[in-house]
């Protein structure tokens, strides 16, 4: 904070946000929170105002995935409830996000009449957020506020999930002691007896295993223990696959890497390794229906060891109070080192390789050849985003060079996530260039956030995959409800006042657009890729077939 | 429903929706609800698919204001939570809206692993909606489903507030008896003793009153008792004002009408009548902070009688179990008829009159003269929508011809409401032409719904009031956070594929645009009105000044 301010609850909170690692804060101003925006504007934090609150939440989600923590600031009621779905998603996908909401003055909380932006129940918003956060507070008492702020932000940093802070307008300016240093113990402590027994049982199972495989997940990234993960995986020598949410937690060039495993969206090599394994050692993988291939698990729990942030499940029993880091370190120290398995390069083949891709200028673009081309276009400076739907399944098939991150809501799957996420990720990783793949239906949900990308002078490339409707739904149940109004998408940059757009239909068009994007590295680009209506990923088709089969049997 | 289907839970629900008075249903498809969309498409209901769920909710809100009931259908989790703010708003403003959400299969509700679109807590969405609806159910048991559906839709019709129905995918196709006739008793019954005492006390107060005034509100419209309201007001002979949410519940040409009363947004004549009255008889008025002029009430409860849908507050005490209709009918029957007060036409002057408005072609448009011009432009075929913010305050100053409805979220005040509301209102009132006034900040929130307006071939006129930012916030606390990215708004119709757009800066430009809109009665029009940055309604300025004063005193 600038020194001209005396220390208040508002400046205290901002200082803590800075200390927690924030450089940007997302949000939309509104009357219950304007005073706090005034404080923010005078702070070192850069305020990024979004077109609406849901978009702010998605942007903050992606920012946290790259930066380790994010914050979003909204007004009471209309702001808090509009943001809601983004925070539910962040809770589901374990994203450390600080939600800050303004609120009516303290004395108004016990007042008789109806305040605007409320239903009349002044505790409703807090009560709802309490259920989708790991810590939440309302700062009605200035004496307690510093402690509440510290505790709440510490929980965000430790548990890597959203937290909620509600500040009445009049509390923001109340005096409070200057904040001191902020050190948060983020250690997830283990119970030694639980840890020892879990590791012993794991060792016994692994020693008997003939075809073990490791499946690595996103929690190692969230908890900052990727080094321990890689050391363990190298120590075991096992082949490893990465989960949909855990791309590149160990670089994909690693000699033990067999590909991405994510249910239908798996690489053939990874599918084979995981499904034929007699023991699957899951390290920080969030076991969702999409991850394991549908709601009826394709993977047998009887051959799985699943270590998550604070517990380990072995077959059908659970050890609580076992931290993931402790588990990995202890397992490595007690296990003898194995030689790495030999994986022939041909064994590990991405669903798509660039292979011998050569553009055929007059040919219509297909999904398959488009992503083959992308395998060459994406380089070590890219940051890849896959929108929920067909795009995330296609992105799963890409091989990612070392250092490239990949963002997607692979579990909660909000469509509309990716456009605001491109904004958030670009701000958090200014040295990378965001390359986002977004379906037309998803794009229409949150399209206006392109305007904020342009306003912030950022350079993402959005590939708008226009297959004329909700193709991922067409493969399940089709009807006019899956149709969309056709937009002239490529004109949008000129409406929003920056960057450039074009539509491409042939492989020749695509080459020209890619060249233009490369030639203008600092500019936002919207490249509409015109596809056939039913052209989609193999995983999408399989998902649709399974849905259809389940429904037809239900109708009988 | 078409006869080719056997009767299922899905067809039963759709039949009840039709019987409740629906012709359209809003929503966004998604995998948990696709099967129900398939049923909807084969029914008599017209499915209107929106760009996102929040927009669907706002459209349904406005549709219900005109049609008496609405429905919105979304997928589980990502859909239900994205819709959330619209339903909170509908709950606050007492809008009868049926929310239908798909859900995972029944057996999955007790399953171990994480389902996509969820946090893992399968009851969370239901538990949250239960708090913002008057009735809610999950149809897990096909035997009970018909009764649950009947009870829930009946509650919507009776209490005029949102209800929630959650249907697991597999339940939709389960067989169920064919629905019979659907008759709902919407009578709000009164306790006779409470009613008699409340009316007696009211009569005693009114008999002593020297300067009584009536303040009429929206509940008479929601409950379908406008005739009884008008008869009572004429019987009393009192001058009456209408609340912000109760425009035209009695036509504004009525000889006893003294104008709109809504805190800062009051007509001078109404302000005088209400504030100088010794008794204010409020009939169906929702007493919100905006309605009464800020959070510290400007109106003394000691001189108020407030009759709402099911209770009456007299001064500082409350009679429960008194229905509004019974109260009005009984009061009229026991009161002697008074001669109407004489109100001189000059006494009742709208904030804006067209007066002697004559366009001055080269002059820049100002807010004040723009709305003077609108007083002449709006005719008996118009349906007026005022967006939350400066626009709703300006719209309050317009005189509305007989038969013209006026829609706005005058209490909950979600910005972004008006664009989807234009869609919903246009579908519910096909003989009217929607004229919507929307600020630039609000427009950016939900702009994509213009695409659905165009897709449905509707003819609203949107006046996009571009004052270069959140002006209503600039008058409270200004900063860069109130700035917006400047869009070329008038190009949007061509991006979305229909209608036309233009930008107007002078009064001459405006005349040309109005002529073009009138000449193309079937086409959507987006008219961007370019205004000075701080040009706004008098009420906005007063609201800002009050906010500033309160904040400065808080900072001390």
**Confidence class for position A551, pLDDT limits 50, 70, 90:** confident
Q: In chain A, which segments carry CATH 3.40.50.970?
A: 9-171, 367-543
* Residue A517 Cα distances to A368, A429, B193, angstroms: 21, 19, 78
HEC readout, A429-482: CCCCEEEEEEEHHHHHHHCCHHHHHHHCCCCCEEEEEECCCCHHHHCCCCCHHH
B41-72 residue pLDDT tens: 999 999 999 999 999 999 999 999 999 999 99
Rounded Cα distance, B360 and B155, in Å: 54
Determine contact, residues A408/A244, Cβ cutoff 8 Å. Answer: yes
* Chain B residues closer than 8 Å to A477 by CB: 34-35, 37-38
**pLDDT score recorded for residue B1:** 45
Can you read off the two tokens belonging to residue B284?
Answer: 């169906």
Contact of B124 with chain A, judged by CB distance below 8 Å, is answered with yes
A257-280 residue pLDDT tens: 999 998 888 998 998 999 899 999
Rounded Cα distance, B73 and B81, in Å: 12
* Residue A256 Cα distances to A234, A273, A280, A306, A390, angstroms: 8, 11, 15, 20, 28
Q: How many CB pairs under 8 A join A and B?
A: 243
B282-297 residue pLDDT tens: 999 988 777 666 544 4
**pLDDT score recorded for residue A293:** 61
**Confidence class for position A38, pLDDT limits 50, 70, 90:** very high
Q: CATH assignment of A192-334, given 3.40.50.300, 3.40.640.10, 3.40.190.10, 3.40.50.1220?
A: 3.40.50.1220
Interface contact B37-A479, CB threshold 8 A? yes
Q: Which residues, in sequence order, are bridge partners of residue A181?
A: none
* Chain B residues closer than 8 Å to A114 by CB: 92, 286-289, 411
**Confidence class for position A1, pLDDT limits 50, 70, 90:** very low
Superfamily name and number for B367-543: Thiamin diphosphate (ThDP)-binding fold, Pyr/PP domains (3.40.50.970)
Rounded Cα distance, A54 and A51, in Å: 9
Rounded Cα distance, A93 and A414, in Å: 11
Interface contact B41-A480, CB threshold 8 A? yes
Rounded Cα distance, A525 and A438, in Å: 13
Average pLDDT over residues B310-337: 96
**pLDDT score recorded for residue A550:** 81
Average pLDDT over residues B524-542: 95
**Confidence class for position B109, pLDDT limits 50, 70, 90:** confident
In this structure, the strands spanning B382-386 and B405-407 are parallel
Rounded Cα distance, A281 and A291, in Å: 15
* Chain A residues closer than 8 Å to B84 by CB: 81-82, 84-85
**pLDDT score recorded for residue A341:** 83
Average pLDDT over residues B15-28: 98
- Distance from the Cα of B309 to chain A's closest Cα (Å) equals 16
Rounded Cα distance, B483 and B505, in Å: 20
Determine contact, residues A194/A314, Cβ cutoff 8 Å. Answer: no
Interface contact B88-A119, CB threshold 8 A? yes
Rounded Cα distance, B134 and B96, in Å: 10
In this structure, the strands spanning A304-308 and A311-314 are antiparallel
Q: Which of A501-515, B353-367, B453-467 comes out lowest in average pLDDT?
A: B353-367
> What angle in degrees, to the nearest 10, is found between the helix axes of B84-93 and A78-92?
150
When the pLDDT of each residue in chain B is averaged and rounded to a whole number, the result is 92
Rounded Cα distance, B135 and B164, in Å: 7
- Distance from the Cα of A414 to chain B's closest Cα (Å) equals 5
B254-309 residue pLDDT tens: 999 999 998 888 998 998 999 899 999 999 998 877 766 654 446 888 999 999 99
* Residue of A92, A452, A528, A556 to mutate, interface with B, max B Cβ within 10 Å: A92
Average pLDDT over residues B235-248: 93
Average pLDDT over residues A323-341: 95
Rounded Cα distance, A494 and A504, in Å: 17
Rounded Cα distance, A25 and A44, in Å: 10
Interface contact A479-B132, CB threshold 8 A? no
Helix (H, G, I), strand (E, B) or coil at A245: helix
Determine contact, residues A393/A265, Cβ cutoff 8 Å. Answer: yes
Residue A9 has pLDDT above 70, yes or no: yes
How many other CB atoms are found less than 10 A from the CB of residue A357? 17
Can you read off the two tokens belonging to residue A107?
Answer: 């004395």
Can you read off the two tokens belonging to residue A32?
Answer: 């219950």
Interface contact B445-A447, CB threshold 8 A? no
Residue with tokens 């349906």: B383
Residue A555 has pLDDT above 70, yes or no: no
Q: In chain B, which segments carry CATH 3.40.50.1220?
A: 192-334
B469-480 residue pLDDT tens: 999 999 999 999
**pLDDT score recorded for residue B287:** 81
Average pLDDT over residues A208-216: 96
Contact of A415 with chain B, judged by CB distance below 8 Å, is answered with yes
Rounded Cα distance, A380 and A384, in Å: 10
Determine contact, residues B262/B244, Cβ cutoff 8 Å. Answer: yes
**Confidence class for position A2, pLDDT limits 50, 70, 90:** very low
Classify B9-171 by CATH class. alpha beta
Average pLDDT over residues B103-130: 84
A405-438 residue pLDDT tens: 999 998 899 999 999 999 999 999 999 999 999 9
Determine contact, residues A387/A437, Cβ cutoff 8 Å. Answer: yes
Residue A516 has pLDDT above 60, yes or no: yes
* Residue of B50, B92, B104, B528 to mutate, interface with A, max A Cβ within 10 Å: B92
Residue in B88, B124, B170 closest to A131 by CB: B124
Helix (H, G, I), strand (E, B) or coil at B8: strand
Rounded Cα distance, B202 and B312, in Å: 10
Residue A111 has pLDDT above 90, yes or no: no
Residue A352 has pLDDT above 60, yes or no: no
**pLDDT score recorded for residue A4:** 56
Contact of A173 with chain B, judged by CB distance below 8 Å, is answered with yes
Average pLDDT over residues B221-234: 96
**pLDDT score recorded for residue B550:** 81
Q: Which of A382-391, A499-508, B114-123 comes out lowest in average pLDDT?
A: B114-123
- Would you mind telling me the total number of residues written for chain A in this entry? 556
**pLDDT score recorded for residue A347:** 47
Rounded Cα distance, A393 and A390, in Å: 5
Q: Hey, CA dihedral for B100, A391, A478, A554, is it positive or negative?
A: negative
Contact of A30 with chain B, judged by CB distance below 8 Å, is answered with yes
Residue B366 has pLDDT above 60, yes or no: yes
Is the pTM higher than 0.90? The answer reads yes
Rounded Cα distance, A423 and B319, in Å: 54
Residue A34 has pLDDT above 60, yes or no: yes
Average pLDDT over residues A315-323: 95
* Residue of A5, A8, A34 to mutate, interface with B, max B Cβ within 10 Å: A34
Determine contact, residues B398/B371, Cβ cutoff 8 Å. Answer: yes
* Chain A residues closer than 8 Å to B117 by CB: 412-413
Q: Which residue has the higher pLDDT, B354 or B77?
A: B77
B150-185 residue pLDDT tens: 999 999 999 999 999 999 999 999 999 999 999 999
How many other CB atoms are found less than 10 A from the CB of residue B490? 20
* Residue A277 Cα distances to A284, A299, B173, angstroms: 18, 10, 39
In this structure, what are the phi and psi dihedrals at residue A350, rounded to the nearest 5 degrees?
-60, 155
Residue of A nearest to B479 (CA): A38
**pLDDT score recorded for residue B189:** 92
Residue A92 has pLDDT above 50, yes or no: yes
Rounded Cα distance, A35 and A29, in Å: 9
Rounded Cα distance, B314 and B15, in Å: 43
In this structure, what are the phi and psi dihedrals at residue B145, rounded to the nearest 5 degrees?
-55, -45
* Residue A483 Cα distances to A336, A466, A474, B455, angstroms: 58, 12, 9, 11
Determine contact, residues B164/B138, Cβ cutoff 8 Å. Answer: no
**pLDDT score recorded for residue B149:** 98
**pLDDT score recorded for residue A40:** 97
**pLDDT score recorded for residue B556:** 56
B140-153 residue pLDDT tens: 999 999 999 999 99
């Amino acid at each position: 904070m600038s020194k001209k301010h005396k220390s208040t609850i508002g400046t205290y909170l901002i200082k803590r946000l800075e200390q927690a690692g924030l450089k940007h804060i997302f949000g939309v101003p509104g009357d219950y929170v304007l005073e706090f925006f005034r404080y923010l504007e005078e702070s070192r934090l850069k305020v990024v105002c979004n077109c609406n609150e849901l978009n702010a939440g998605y942007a903050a989600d992606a920012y946290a995935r790259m930066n380790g923590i994010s914050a979003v600031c909204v007004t009471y009621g209309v702001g808090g409830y509009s943001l809601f779905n983004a925070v539910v998603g962040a809770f589901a996908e374990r994203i450390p996000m600080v939600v800050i909401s303004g609120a009516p003055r303290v004395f108004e909380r016990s007042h008789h009449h109806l305040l605007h932006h409320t239903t009349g129940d002044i505790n409703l918003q807090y009560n709802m957020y309490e259920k989708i956060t790991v810590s939440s507070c309302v700062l009605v008492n200035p004496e307690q506020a510093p402690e509440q702020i510290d505790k709440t932000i510490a929980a965000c940093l430790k548990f890597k999930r959203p937290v909620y802070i509600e500040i009445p307008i009049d509390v923001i300016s109340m005096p409070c002691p200057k904040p001191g240093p902020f050190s948060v113990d983020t250690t997830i402590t283990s119970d030694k007896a639980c840890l020892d027994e879990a590791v012993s049982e794991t060792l016994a199972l692994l020693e008997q295993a003939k075809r073990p495989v490791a499946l690595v997940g996103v929690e190692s990234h969230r908890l900052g223990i990727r080094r321990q993960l890689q050391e363990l995986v190298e120590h075991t020598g096992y082949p490893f696959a990465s989960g949909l949410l855990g791309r590149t937690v160990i670089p994909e060039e690693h000699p033990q890497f067999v590909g991405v495993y994510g249910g239908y969206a798996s690489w053939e090599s990874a599918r084979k390794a995981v499904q034929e394994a007699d023991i699957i050692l899951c390290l920080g993988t969030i076991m969702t229906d999409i991850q394991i291939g549908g709601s009826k698990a394709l993977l047998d729990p009887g051959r799985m060891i699943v270590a998550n942030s604070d517990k380990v499940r072995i077959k059908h029993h659970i050890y609580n109070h076992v931290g993931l880091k402790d588990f990995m370190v202890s397992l490595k120290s007690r296990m003898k080192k194995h030689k790495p398995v030999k994986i022939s390069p041909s064994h590990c083949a991405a669903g798509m390789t660039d292979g011998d891709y050569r553009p055929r200028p007059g040919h219509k673009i297909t999904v398959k050849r488009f992503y083959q081309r992308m395998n060459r276009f994406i380089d070590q400076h890219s940051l890849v985003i896959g929108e929920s739907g067909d795009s995330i399944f296609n992105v799963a098939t890409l091989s990612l060079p070392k250092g490239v991150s990949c963002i997607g809501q692979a579990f909660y799957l909000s469509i509309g996530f990716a456009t605001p996420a491109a904004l958030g990720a670009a701000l958090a990783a200014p040295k990378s260039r965001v390359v986002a793949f977004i379906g037309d239906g998803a794009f229409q949900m949150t399209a206006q956030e392109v305007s904020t990308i342009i306003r912030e002078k950022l350079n993402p490339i959005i590939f708008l995959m226009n297959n004329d409707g909700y193709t991922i739904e067409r493969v399940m149940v089709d009807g006019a409800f899956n149709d969309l109004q056709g937009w002239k998408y490529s004109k949008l940059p000129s409406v929003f006042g920056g960057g450039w757009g074009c539509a491409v239909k042939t492989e020749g068009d695509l080459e020209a657009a890619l060249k233009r994007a490369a030639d203008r590295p600092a500019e936002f680009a919207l490249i509409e890729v015109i596809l056939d209506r039913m052209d989609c990923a193999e995983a999408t088709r399989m998902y649709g077939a399974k849905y259809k089969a389940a429904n037809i049997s239900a109708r009988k």
